[in-house]
Chains A and B, each alone.
Chain A
């Protein structure tokens, strides 16, 4: 067991280094000098420019800058934002809970709707419900989510006035940030109106971000269930007279869940990528929106650090899923 876990962990290290190298190189390829971009039309005196470049280490050779960068990253130093002069890590960590809260809600939504839908579709294979689920999930999978978000805003926020258009909380409320999760913070403060407001703000972004994972989970659950339902032990369970609910819930579902759990874990990347679009549409103050703003402001260190941090979280989650999968399923653990 320990050996399995160590192997998996050691496989992650080169990937992490590769990502660090990739982000470093990619950002250096951006046309335009960060300092000249900041000073804009006004221009800057050459001496001052050289001074600033030296201050930021931009005048050193590329390989030296890279080694510096790796060293700093390993010490948890992701540099300073060129615009706000705050530490990139602390900016990221302030915004990350908002993204995480949204991503978790979206995952929950996708699982709570997708799993039952997929199970029912498999059990009632070929029925109208099955066709409906499959059609809906293919549509969800093909959905341009930025447009989907706009449609929902148009219908529910503008048309019916049910949900707010953007942000995380109405301006009339203020809650001291503690965990960074608005739902928890408002509850802790005992402000139930604020909690309701936060919940209302979450609904549409959750649906939008959860649409693609929902489609994937429903499809995966259906096909995994179909495969399992054809197995001999299911026939045995039925033959010995177990009720349908028990056969499906206890015997089939437990075995069908393994691939579904993997797929849910692998959706984390999709969720963090989709967060860029969802957060932009709903003005959600998370890392996705921050990244896009960093791009527009040519804030190299912020973009670099942000991408690296997001990639690291994706790698870590995938590693976790991988290890969990091995722990749950001995066949995987001993495969190699």
Chain B
């Protein structure tokens, strides 16, 4: 990390050795204050998620019968033991939100991993082999893309049955085409370049060509898409939870929390406000980070 301080001066100054790619990336990335902010927020949420068991003041499922619908601490009747208030059956909002962060991060991670793995595989095969495989795979992707994503997720979740795992599967299926398309486009751009031809001539097999020669040069757009994929996953899973097709109560998933306390909207707005803010902040942070990564990784946009 000490290297970046030396590049603070005009980058145009002739340096004898080109900077390490990571140094260069960090130089461009840290100029984007929004992206840095997003990174910090995500790190914070991730820490809360990991240590929810330690930092949460209460158990998320314990019902404090004598503290039902307690308002947040700064409102009249609020108490310091329930900083953000309690819900309709007396569970501490803050603790539930913290455990909810764990769920949302997990949802993002699993959905992105699953869809990235499948989409990457399909895109590699389509771009690399072309012909019939390409046509079949990309047509199938087009069909998935023709359906509005939330509609498809709703249908898949309805078919698999409501539940957190099924909601994650549904959202994963919906976003696969994005990764497949990106990978295919990147592969097509690389596959006829000299270094690939050279490895082919040198006798590299198709697997080696795909995974070791070509793939590393295609990762930049995939990293960006994966980051933005976190926000889509969290948003869509929350929407499914809200519609009753995702995580089921009493799971402290943010969308589910929102849906299950709807009837208290007027009497106790905080039961609806907090989960929404949690979703918004998390999604916004990932979008900011994704935008920053895109700017830093895309050489065409570098000033």
> B1-9, B50-58, B115-123, B269-277: which one contacts chain A?
B269-277
Q: Smallest CB-CB separation from A274: which chain B residue?
A: B150
> In the complex the two chains form, is A138's CB within 8 Å of B288's CB?
yes
A146-B239, A292-B243 given; A15·B143 CB < 8 A: yes
Determine if A277 and B150 form an interchain contact, defined as CB atoms under 8 angstroms apart: yes
Look across to chain A and name the residue whose beta carbon is closest to the beta carbon of B150. A273
Tell me the B235-290 residues at the A interface (CB within 8 Å).
235, 238-239, 242-245, 255, 258, 262, 265-266, 269, 272-273, 275-276, 279-280, 283-284, 287-288
Instruction: Tell me which residues across on chain A come within 8 A of B280, comparing CB atoms.
Output: 139, 142-144, 147
Distance between Cα atoms of A272 and B148 in the complex (Å): 7
Q: Which of A25-33, A51-59, A68-76, A230-238 contacts B (4 or more CB under 8 A)?
A: A25-33
Q: How far is the CB of A275 from chain B (nearest CB, A)?
A: 9
Say if the beta carbon of B19 comes within 8 Å of chain A.
no
Report yes or no: A273 in contact with B149, Cβ–Cβ below 8 A: yes
Cβ 8 A contact of B279, one of A18, A144, A303, A314: A144
- State which of B139, B245, B258 has its C-beta within 8 Å of the C-beta of A147: B258
Known A139-B284, A272-B148; contact A277-B243, beta-carbon cutoff 8 A = yes
A242 touches B (CB below 8 Å): no
Cross-chain contact B161 with A314 (CB below 8 angstroms) = no
Given A18-B139, A273-B148; A147-B279 close (CB under 8 Å): yes
Q: Are B269 and A142 in contact (CB under 8 A)?
A: no
Q: Shortest CB–CB separation between residue B30 and chain A, in angstroms? A: 18
B154 and A151 contacting across the interface, CB-CB below 8 Å: no
Contact A314 B148 (CB under 8 A): yes
Encoded as 1 (CB less than 8 Å from any A CB) or 0, chain B from 158 to 170 comes to: 1101000000000
Whether, in the assembled complex, A167 has its beta carbon less than 8 Å from a beta carbon of chain B, the answer is no
A14 within 8 A of B: yes
The yes or no answer to A183 lying at the interface (CB within 8 A) is no
Asked if B155 contacts A307 (CB within 8 A), the reply is: yes
Query: For A307, what are the chain B residues with a Cβ–Cβ distance below 8 Å?
Result: 147, 151, 155
- Contact residue range for chain A? 35 or more
User: Which residues of chain A are near B239, meaning CB under 8 Å?
Assistant: 144, 146, 277
Interface residue A295 (Cβ < 8 Å from any Cβ of B)? yes
Asked if A269 is at the interface of the complex by the 8 Å CB criterion, the answer is yes
> Are A276 and B265 in touch, CB under 8 angstroms?
no
Would A277 and B242 count as touching, CB distance under 8 A? yes
- Which B residue sits closest to A277, measured CB to CB? B239
Report the bound CA distance from A274 to B284 in whole Å: 19
Q: How far is the CA of A271 from the CA of B154 in the complex (A)?
A: 15
Q: Are B143 and A144 in contact (CB-based, < 8 A)? A: no
Whole-angstrom CA separation of A146 from B37 in the bound complex: 26
The verdict on A18 contacting B140 (CB below 8 Å), with A151-B276, A154-B266 known, is yes
Q: Smallest Cβ distance from B276 to chain A, in angstroms? A: 3
A22 to B141, CA, bound (A): 12
Minimum C-beta distance from B259 to chain A (A): 8
A33 to chain B, nearest CB (A): 14
| A15 and B266 contact, Cβ closer than 8 Å, known pairs A142-B287, A314-B147 | no
Q: Report if A141 contacts B (CB, 8 A).
A: yes
Closest chain A residue to B161 by CB distance? Answer: A31
A144-B280, A150-B276 as given contacts; A19 in contact with B159, CB under 8 Å: no
Q: CB distance B265 to A29 under 8 Å?
A: no
Chain B nearest CB, measured from A82 CB (Å): 15
Residues from chain B with Cβ under 8 Å of A139 in the complex: 280, 284
Nearest B residue (CB) for A22 = B143
Contact flags A1-26 to B (C-beta < 8 A → 1, else 0): 00000000000001100110011001
- Chain A residue numbers with a CB within 8 Å of B161 are 31
Per the 8 Å Cβ criterion, residues 249-292 of A in contact with B are 269-270, 272-274, 276-277, 280, 291-292
**Among B142, B158, B269, contact of A295 (Cβ-Cβ < 8 Å):** B158
List residues of chain B with CB within 8 A of the CB of A274.
150
In the complex, how many angstroms separate the beta carbon of B279 from the nearest chain A beta carbon? 5
- CB <8 Å contact, A314 and B146: yes
| B148–A141 touching, CB < 8 Å | no
Asked if B287 and A138 sit within 8 Å, CB to CB, the answer is yes
Distance of A19 from chain B, by nearest CB (Å): 6
A308-328 at interface with B (beta carbon < 8 Å): 310-311, 314-315, 318
The answer to whether B154 and A291 have CB atoms under 8 Å apart is yes
Q: Does B231 contact A (CB under 8 A)?
A: yes
Contact for A303 among B34, B147, B155, B288, CB less than 8 A? B155
Q: Which residue of A lies closest to B149 (CB)?
A: A273
**Does A49 touch B at the CB level, under 8 Å?**
no
Q: Chain A residues near B262: list those with CB within 8 A.
A: 150
Q: A158 to chain B: which residues have CB within 8 Å? A: 265-266
Closest to B273 in A: A151
A22 to B148, CA, bound (A): 14
- The answer to whether B272 and A311 touch across the interface, beta carbons within 8 angstroms, is no
- In whole angstroms, what is the CA distance A280 to B240 when docked? 12
Question: Per a CB cutoff under 8 Å, which of B139, B158, B159, B265 touches A150?
Answer: B265
Chain B residues near A314 (CB-CB < 8 A): 146-148
Known A14-B139, A142-B284, A276-B150; 16 more pairs at CB < 8 Å: A15-B139, A15-B143, A30-B158, A142-B235, A144-B238, A144-B279, A144-B283, A146-B239, A147-B258, A147-B275, A150-B258, A158-B265, A272-B151, A273-B149, A295-B154, A311-B151
In the assembled complex, 14 residue pairs joining A and B whose CB atoms fall closer than 8 Å, in A order, are A22-B143, A30-B158, A31-B161, A143-B280, A147-B275, A150-B265, A154-B272, A158-B265, A273-B149, A273-B151, A274-B150, A277-B242, A310-B148, A318-B146
Give A contacts to B, CB under 8 Å. Answer: 14-15, 18-19, 22-23, 26-27, 29-31, 138-139, 141-144, 146-148, 150-151, 153-154, 158, 269-270, 272-274, 276-277, 280, 291-292, 295-296, 303, 307, 310-311, 314-315, 318
Leading 7 A-B pairs by shortest Cβ distance: A273-B148, A147-B276, A18-B143, A273-B150, A142-B283, A142-B284, A295-B158
